[in-house]
Amino acid sequence: MSDVVITPEVLARYNKPGPRYTSYPTVPAWTEEFGEAEYREALNDLATRTEDPISLYVHLPFCAERCTYCGCNATVTTRTDVVDKYLDHLEQELALVVPQMGAQRRVVQMHWGGGTPNFLNQPQMERLVGLLNKHFAIDSDGEVAIEFDPRIGSVEQLEQIRELGFNRISFGVQDINPVVQEAIGRIQPFEQTEKLFRASRELGFSSVNVDMVYGLPKQTDESFRDTLLAIRDLRPDRIACFSYAHVPWVKPNQKLIDVTALPDTFTKFSLFRMAIDMMGEVGYDWVGMDHFAQRDDELAIAARERRLHRNFMGYTTRPASNMIAFGMSSISDLVGRFAQNEPHLGKYQKMVAAGKLPIVKGYKLTEDDLMRRQVILHLMCNLELPYDLTRTNYGMSLQDALGEDLERMEAYVEDGFIELLPDRIQVTPLGRFFVRLLAMELDAHLAKTSQRIAFSKTV
């Protein structure tokens, strides 16, 4: 990608606010009219599809302290009884949901996110694993992943996590520079991260990954290069390189960020370009928007073969058609519906304690939504749109399905973002940086949702 030239002027012209398309329709299009009754209907529909495997997500929101840059739905506490109470309510939520969909459904992908999942102590982790095994049949060959904060972790905890059946682990690193760490309120000596990372290799995790963030306060070309070099030396299987989104009106903790220390738009973009080039030099493929994977990793292989998929848990090669989520703020994606749990801890626990499914909003996709979802997610993952993509499921060509919307997207040929080939639209190396902008041309909800939310920039 080093030969792709993007000037500050080009970036300023095309760096527009837009969705990241972790779903379609995106969350702002969802409605509070979708509630408990609609979620029960979805679970009942899922119950009739007994052979469909599922993905499972559990949100564990607790952290020992709040990082100033964080955009996650997290709760700060130091009390183990607060976590125990949360697990009580997770147990109740499981008891409400599972009978509706059928017990012992096969799970091919499970992910614990947060917050800080390894904030849970050993008895708490054992309890939660026991609850999930009671209700689900977790595939022995499935992906069982957990997010891990090295600041509070230990080798002994890694051993316990491995013994509980987790085979994938992601280490939160963000940045190794002490000045940047001070600016974001996350002091994390790299020696601790390195020690635990290498221990996880020895323990036999099949995939050991790293999360980092670019665009943080005090980051410079030099400091970020040092972070990239340190992560390269670890040789993680996959790297998530997320863009920092400064939204203090949504996340009040970000008000503590010194905005004068944030890199400007072009500098921030240059940091990501550096990541692409440096990781490519040592055998990583750029996958999707913001991930890297070693070239022999199944994720990189799937991207090259244009069969990459994406859901709320990230990029994957083994998509289950239904994802069931538990815990505050978690999002389920099942049988053509999205359903989001109550995001506030106290309200979530009150609803569950009252025997209610804690759904606060959701959406039932129309036939047009389902078609556009297939198209947009394929574009975002695989950087192409075959003209016959919609024929099998919807009985029409891409041109017939999208009409004028596709014509608007084809206008980006002149900008060098796409090529029109005989059998498909192909995103160019230049257009890859603006793939969200291309997807926005196919979004039937965007005009309405843009009036209700400030999206992040496309780059």
Binding residues for S-adenosyl-L-methionine: 57, 69-71, 114-116, 147, 174, 186, 211, 245, 331
How would you write 127-164 as a 3-class SS string? HHHHHHHHHEEEEEEEEEEEEECHHHCCHHHHHHHHHC
Give the residue from 30, 22, 26, 100 showing the smallest Cα distance to 364. Answer: 30
3-state secondary structure of 446: helix
Surface-to-core class of residue 420, CB atoms within 10 Å of its CB (0-12 exposed, 13-18 middle, 19+ buried): exposed
Give the residue from 269, 265, 303, 457 showing the smallest Cα distance to 381. Answer: 303
Q: Kind of pairing, strands 75-76 and 62-63? A: parallel
Distances (CA, A) of 401 to 306, 404, 446: 21, 10, 18
The binding site for [4Fe-4S] cluster consists of: 63, 67, 70
Distance (Å, rounded) from C-alpha 238 to C-alpha 450? 33
Q: Which two tokens stand for residue 177?
A: 């520079």
- Rounded to a whole number of angstroms, the CA Rg of the chain reads 22
User: Amino acid identity, residue 108?
Assistant: V
Looking at the DSSP assignment, which residues form a beta bridge with residue 457? Answer: 17
Give the residue from 76, 143, 144, 80 showing the smallest Cα distance to 114. Answer: 76
Phi, psi torsion values for 366, nearest 5 degrees:
-80, 175
Which H or E run contains 75? strand 75-76
Peptide bond into 25 cis (omega under 30): yes
* Range 242-247 contact pairs with CB under 8 angstroms and sequence separation of 24 or more: 242/211, 242/212, 242/213, 242/214, 242/290, 243/213, 243/214, 243/215, 243/268, 243/272, 243/290, 243/456, 243/459, 244/69, 244/213, 244/214, 244/215, 244/216, 244/268, 245/71, 245/456, 247/71, 247/454, 247/456
The binding site consists of: 57, 63, 67, 69-71, 114-116, 147, 174, 186, 211, 245, 331
Give the residue from 399, 382, 413 showing the smallest Cα distance to 442. Answer: 399
